[in-house]
């Protein structure tokens, strides 16, 4: 009886965090559209999000639909199945789509009727992360392709590489992206002494989603009687934790450090500095 209730709670939490996180993609693009400008922000965040959600979508699809990946996961985690649910897949697909839309506002401002902004060029820091992640996945793919055990669904001997490891490598791209994607905007807000142009609503929605995501995974692991639901899917667990840390930073900047910042004229974009000064790597 209790387990049935918890299963319902888990499902409800899953869809609510899906809605909260999915809705969090809209405020920034809507704010940009209303201001007819992307000033006060940089393309780094939506651009690296495109890579992150591409990886997250592909890994979730594999964990949810692939018999081979699910079999290899079970062999490595005491017969248990991945904790990925269908709402994770729909969330990832939706996140990718909205990230592409927001990125287009920076790369094609004229098409949106926006004024030019110096934040429309990605920083070397983000480009390095972007291509470094792709290179890392390619290397792992070649290692797996060279492994004679790659298709095995039996408990692998130590050091054996299987397709599950390739999927883990893809999923870790999302983790790396989450660890760094907010950093450029934190720096921009600090240099501007303002959060003008950066939507705080997306942060509040992200914070709610993070709490519910972690709660859902904890419930699922409890129901299975094994916490490898978290250790076996560290990306989903880390996403909520890391995002909430950044959310707290942004809320502190918006409500505590720079609460009285007023909308600036476009000429004040110089506060961001030159493209070279804006780059953090």
CB contact burial 39-71 (16+ within 10 A = b; e otherwise)? bbbbbbbbbbbbbbbbbbbbbbbbbbebebbbb
Half-sphere exposure (CA, 13 Å, Cβ side) for 96? 15
Cβ–Cβ under 8 Å, residues 98 and 108: no
Residue 116 Cα distances to 38, 110, 144, 262, 278, angstroms: 8, 8, 45, 20, 16
Q: What is the pLDDT of residue 80?
A: 82
Q: What is the pLDDT of residue 149?
A: 78
Instruction: Note down pLDDT in tens along the chain; length 281 residues.
Output: 456 888 888 889 888 987 898 899 999 999 999 999 999 999 999 999 999 999 999 999 999 999 999 998 988 887 888 878 887 898 899 999 999 999 999 999 999 999 878 778 899 999 999 999 999 999 999 999 988 878 777 776 666 888 999 999 999 999 899 889 999 999 999 999 999 999 999 999 999 988 888 888 788 878 877 666 566 666 656 666 788 899 999 999 999 999 876 555 444 444 444 443 444 55
Say what the pTM is.
Answer: 0.81
Q: What is the pLDDT of residue 278?
A: 46
Q: What is the pLDDT of residue 168?
A: 94
Q: What is the pLDDT of residue 124?
A: 93
Would you kindly state where each structural domain of the chain is located, as residue ranges?
2-113+120-278
């Amino acid at each position: 009886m209790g387990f049935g209730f918890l299963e319902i709670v888990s499902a409800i939490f899953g869809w609510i965090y899906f809605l909260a996180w999915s809705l969090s993609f809209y405020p920034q693009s809507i704010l940009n559209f209303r201001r007819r400008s992307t000033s006060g922000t940089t393309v780094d965040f939506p651009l690296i999000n495109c890579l992150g959600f591409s990886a997250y979508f592909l890994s979730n699809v594999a964990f949810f639909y692939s018999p081979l990946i699910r079999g290899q996961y079970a062999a490595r985690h005491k017969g248990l199945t991945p904790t990925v649910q269908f709402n994770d897949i729909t969330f990832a697909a939706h996140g990718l789509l909205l990230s592409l839309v927001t990125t287009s506002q920076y790369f094609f401002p004229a098409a949106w009727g926006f004024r030019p902004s110096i934040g429309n060029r990605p920083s070397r820091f983000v480009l390095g992360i972007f291509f470094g992640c792709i290179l890392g996945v390619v290397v792992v793919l070649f290692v797996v392709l060279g492994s004679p055990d790659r298709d095995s669904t039996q408990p692998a001997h130590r050091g054996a590489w299987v397709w599950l490891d390739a999927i883990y490598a893809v999923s870790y791209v999302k983790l790396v992206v989450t660890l760094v994607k907010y950093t450029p905007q934190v720096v921009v807000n600090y240099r501007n002494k303002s959060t003008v142009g950066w939507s705080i609503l997306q942060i509040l929605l992200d914070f709610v989603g993070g709490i519910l995501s972690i709660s859902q995974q904890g419930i699922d692991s409890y129901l299975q009687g094994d916490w490898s639901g978290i250790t076996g899917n560290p990306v989903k667990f880390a996403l909520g934790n890391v995002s909430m840390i950044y959310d707290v930073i942004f809320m502190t900047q918006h409500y505590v450090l720079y609460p009285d910042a007023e909308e600036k004229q476009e000429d004040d974009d110089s506060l961001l500095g030159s493209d070279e000064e804006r780059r953090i790597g």
